[in-house]
Amino acid sequence: MRRALLILVGLFLTSVAGAEAFARFGLGLGTPPLYETDPEVEYRLQASQSLHRFGNLFETNERHMRSPTLIGETRPIWLVVGDSIPFAGGQVDQADLATSRLTDETRMVANLSAGSWGPANELAAIRANADLPLAGIVVVLNSDDLPDVPTFAPLDPNTHPTEAPVLALQEALIRYLPRYLPASLKPAPLPPVSADQQQADLAAGRQDYQDLLAGLAAQGIPVCLVLHPSRLELEPAPVPDAETIRRRETGLARFAEMSDLAKVASIPVVEAADDYRNEGAAPQIYLDGLHLTATGQAALARAIERCMTEAAVPGPKE
């Protein structure tokens, strides 16, 4: 009996060790990109990270950017600022990022972004790098950014972890498994934001956006905005219901508002929708309803390139 129990325990431990090895070395779990709080920006990526995630390289430099080091950089530096769209997370390899595709022997295109940043975070991040001799700035925005205001709340370990879990299986079970559970077994969702709070966030976000535009206009260098559509904003749902129609119309109305305000501030605006449509079917572009595949990042690179041209920034030499 004791021998059988020892065999079972041994098999269990071997299985756990095998699953841990697969999760860590096969999937890259256990080493998520790490964040840190910041009194001005709210939060940012930790500096000088290098890891592999789902087979993709993920690196940050000494300035908390998802880019190579800028120490000793002699090429003109263009700054692309945004949230999870240019950031892309661990599901896109470093070489496939729009900013990596745009970097060549004539220029460095640096990626200053982080998941869920809004206009206020982006302006603070630009100011934190005011010592850089920048040649131009492109800000990538989506319609959800307009009501996205900083809270300076403690960081959620699932979306913005500050330290790596002890086990890769720990991350798999806590962060990813709940996505695949039936609704009855999923954790209770957070209570919805009240209508009053939504309106307050939208009003604060509009002010943050205008502050961002003013901050960009004051840079004295070429600046431009890229408007990134969600999949629903790019193309209507095949059989839309009332809520889907409302979400699409809200997003498009916000884009129009953001574009109009930018034009008043004399800041060029490029809509990435045309570049995405030219790339092919939406499933090739989007990982989900908002974020981009490697193919989508290539289309975003073309939109950023057009933005640079609109801002009178020369493109790379052919």
Output DSSP code: residue 309: H
Contacts of 274 (CB under 8 A, 6+ apart): 303
Contacts of 22 (CB under 8 A, 6+ apart): none
Looking at residue 192, its pLDDT comes to: 80
Looking at residue 315, its pLDDT comes to: 45
Cα angle value 139/34/219 (rounded, 5°): 25
State the CB neighbour count (10 A cutoff) for residue 13: 10
Looking at residue 316, its pLDDT comes to: 47
Distance CA 188, CA 183 (A): 9
**CA dihedral (280, 82, 211, 198) positive or negative:** positive
**Which fold would CATH assign to domain 75-151+194-310?**
Rossmann fold (3.40.50)
Looking at residue 32, its pLDDT comes to: 92
pLDDT by residue (tens digit) across 19-62?
Answer: 666 667 777 777 899 999 999 999 999 999 999 998 899 999 99
Residue ranges, the chain, pLDDT below 50: 313-318
Q: DSSP letters of 183-216? A: GGGSPPPPPPPPHHHHHHHHHHHHHHHHHHHHHH
Looking at residue 92, its pLDDT comes to: 97
Looking at residue 184, its pLDDT comes to: 57
pLDDT by residue (tens digit) across 261-276?
Answer: 999 999 999 999 999 9
Looking at residue 43, its pLDDT comes to: 98
Cβ(56)–Cβ(93) below 8 Å: yes
Domain edges within the chain: 75-151+194-310
* pTM for this predicted structure: 0.89
The DSSP H or E segment spanning 231 is: helix 231-234
Secondary structure (3-state) at 295: helix
